[in-house]
Protein backbone atom coordinates (compact mmCIF):
# COMPACT_ATOMS: atom_id res chain seq x y z
CA UNK A 1 0.00 0.00 0.00
CA UNK A 2 1.15 3.40 -0.85
CA UNK A 3 -0.49 5.46 1.91
CA UNK A 4 -1.36 3.27 4.92
CA UNK A 5 -2.15 6.27 7.16
CA UNK A 6 -4.62 7.57 4.64
CA UNK A 7 -6.35 4.20 4.35
CA UNK A 8 -6.52 4.01 8.14
CA UNK A 9 -8.07 7.49 8.38
CA UNK A 10 -10.61 6.64 5.70
CA UNK A 11 -11.57 3.43 7.53
CA UNK A 12 -11.90 5.29 10.86
CA UNK A 13 -14.01 8.02 9.26
CA UNK A 14 -16.22 5.43 7.58
CA UNK A 15 -16.78 3.78 11.00
CA UNK A 16 -17.68 7.20 12.51
CA UNK A 17 -20.11 7.90 9.68
CA UNK A 18 -21.69 4.43 10.00
CA UNK A 19 -22.22 5.02 13.73
CA UNK A 20 -23.63 8.50 13.06
CA UNK A 21 -25.96 7.08 10.40
CA UNK A 22 -27.19 4.49 12.90
CA UNK A 23 -27.83 7.19 15.53
CA UNK A 24 -29.60 9.40 13.00
CA UNK A 25 -31.76 6.51 11.77
CA UNK A 26 -32.74 5.75 15.36
CA UNK A 27 -33.52 9.44 16.02
CA UNK A 28 -35.49 9.67 12.76
CA UNK A 29 -37.60 6.69 13.83
CA UNK A 30 -38.28 8.40 17.19
CA UNK A 31 -39.25 11.65 15.44
CA UNK A 32 -41.61 9.83 13.07
CA UNK A 33 -43.23 7.98 16.01
CA UNK A 34 -43.72 11.25 17.87
CA UNK A 35 -45.20 12.88 14.75
CA UNK A 36 -47.66 9.98 14.46
CA UNK A 37 -48.63 10.48 18.11
CA UNK A 38 -49.11 14.21 17.50
CA UNK A 39 -51.32 13.49 14.48
CA UNK A 40 -53.52 11.26 16.65
CA UNK A 41 -53.58 13.89 19.41
CA UNK A 42 -54.63 16.56 16.87
CA UNK A 43 -57.49 14.38 15.65
CA UNK A 44 -58.66 13.76 19.21
CA UNK A 45 -58.38 17.47 20.02
CA UNK A 46 -60.40 18.41 16.92
CA UNK A 47 -63.09 15.87 17.81
CA UNK A 48 -63.30 16.97 21.46
CA UNK A 49 -63.26 20.66 20.48
CA UNK A 50 -66.09 20.04 18.05
CA UNK A 51 -68.11 18.22 20.68
CA UNK A 52 -67.49 20.98 23.25
CA UNK A 53 -68.44 23.68 20.76
CA UNK A 54 -71.65 21.82 19.95
CA UNK A 55 -72.46 21.39 23.67
CA UNK A 56 -71.78 25.08 24.31
CA UNK A 57 -73.96 26.09 21.38
CA UNK A 58 -76.79 23.91 22.66
CA UNK A 59 -76.39 25.19 26.23
CA UNK A 60 -75.73 28.82 25.33
CA UNK A 61 -78.50 31.21 26.29
CA UNK A 62 -80.29 33.10 23.59
CA UNK A 63 -78.89 36.52 22.79
CA UNK A 64 -80.64 39.81 22.23
CA UNK A 65 -78.51 42.72 21.13
CA UNK A 66 -75.38 40.71 21.91
CA UNK A 67 -76.42 40.19 25.55
CA UNK A 68 -77.26 36.70 26.88
CA UNK A 69 -80.90 36.18 27.78
CA UNK A 70 -82.12 33.38 30.02
CA UNK A 71 -85.31 31.96 28.62
CA UNK A 72 -88.03 31.60 31.24
CA UNK A 73 -90.81 29.33 29.99
CA UNK A 74 -94.45 30.20 30.53
CA UNK A 75 -96.09 28.07 33.15
CA UNK A 76 -98.54 25.68 31.57
CA UNK A 77 -100.67 22.88 32.97
CA UNK A 78 -98.33 20.17 34.19
CA UNK A 79 -95.24 22.36 33.75
CA UNK A 80 -92.34 21.27 35.94
CA UNK A 81 -90.29 23.66 38.03
CA UNK A 82 -87.19 21.98 36.63
CA UNK A 83 -87.91 23.83 33.36
CA UNK A 84 -86.74 26.98 35.15
CA UNK A 85 -83.06 27.94 35.42
CA UNK A 86 -81.52 27.17 38.83
CA UNK A 87 -81.69 30.80 40.08
CA UNK A 88 -85.38 30.95 39.34
CA UNK A 89 -85.99 27.59 41.00
CA UNK A 90 -84.37 28.96 44.19
CA UNK A 91 -86.56 32.07 44.07
CA UNK A 92 -89.70 29.98 43.63
CA UNK A 93 -88.70 27.67 46.51
CA UNK A 94 -87.99 30.65 48.79
CA UNK A 95 -91.36 32.27 48.07
CA UNK A 96 -93.09 28.93 48.57
CA UNK A 97 -91.36 28.39 51.95
CA UNK A 98 -92.28 31.84 53.24
CA UNK A 99 -95.11 32.09 55.77
CA UNK A 100 -96.98 34.42 53.40
CA UNK A 101 -96.45 36.86 50.56
CA UNK A 102 -92.97 38.38 50.45
CA UNK A 103 -91.45 41.63 49.26
CA UNK A 104 -88.50 41.35 46.89
CA UNK A 105 -86.17 42.29 49.77
CA UNK A 106 -87.42 39.34 51.90
CA UNK A 107 -87.12 37.00 48.93
CA UNK A 108 -83.57 38.21 48.37
CA UNK A 109 -82.65 37.54 51.98
CA UNK A 110 -84.01 34.00 51.63
CA UNK A 111 -81.98 33.24 48.49
CA UNK A 112 -78.81 34.89 49.77
CA UNK A 113 -78.77 38.15 47.79
CA UNK A 114 -77.11 41.14 49.46
CA UNK A 115 -80.31 43.20 49.70
CA UNK A 116 -78.51 46.20 51.21
CA UNK A 117 -77.09 46.87 47.74
CA UNK A 118 -79.77 48.17 45.40
CA UNK A 119 -77.80 47.02 42.36
CA UNK A 120 -78.22 43.45 43.56
CA UNK A 121 -81.81 43.76 44.74
CA UNK A 122 -83.24 45.24 41.54
CA UNK A 123 -82.18 42.35 39.27
CA UNK A 124 -83.86 39.98 41.74
CA UNK A 125 -87.03 42.09 41.62
CA UNK A 126 -86.84 41.91 37.82
CA UNK A 127 -86.55 38.13 37.93
CA UNK A 128 -89.52 37.90 40.27
CA UNK A 129 -91.55 40.16 37.95
CA UNK A 130 -90.55 37.98 34.99
CA UNK A 131 -91.80 34.96 36.93
CA UNK A 132 -95.09 36.82 37.47
CA UNK A 133 -95.32 37.54 33.72
CA UNK A 134 -94.70 33.86 32.93
CA UNK A 135 -97.22 32.60 35.50
CA UNK A 136 -94.82 31.12 38.08
CA UNK A 137 -95.50 33.75 40.77
CA UNK A 138 -98.33 36.13 41.55
CA UNK A 139 -97.83 39.79 42.47
CA UNK A 140 -100.28 41.34 44.89
CA UNK A 141 -101.40 44.98 44.55
CA UNK A 142 -99.13 45.97 47.44
CA UNK A 143 -96.04 44.67 45.56
CA UNK A 144 -95.58 41.43 47.49
CA UNK A 145 -95.00 38.15 45.70
CA UNK A 146 -96.64 34.80 46.35
CA UNK A 147 -96.87 31.46 44.59
CA UNK A 148 -99.65 30.65 42.18
CA UNK A 149 -102.47 28.47 43.41
The 10s digit of each residue's pLDDT in 73-93 is: 878 777 788 888 888 889 999
pLDDT value of position 83 = 81
Average pLDDT, the chain: 86
Distance separating alpha carbons of residues 63 and 56, to the nearest angstrom: 14
> Regarding predicted confidence, which is higher, 111 or 73?
111
Long-range contact set of residues 141-146: C-beta below 8 Å, sequence gap at least 24: 143/103, 143/104, 144/100, 144/101, 144/102, 144/103, 145/95, 145/101, 145/102, 145/103, 145/104, 145/107, 146/95, 146/100, 146/101, 146/102
Overall average pLDDT of the 11-33 stretch: 96
Amino acid sequence: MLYPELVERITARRAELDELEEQLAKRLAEVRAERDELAVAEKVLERVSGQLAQERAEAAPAQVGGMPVVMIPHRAAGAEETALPADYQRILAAVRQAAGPVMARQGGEMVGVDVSVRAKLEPLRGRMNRMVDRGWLRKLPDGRFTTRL
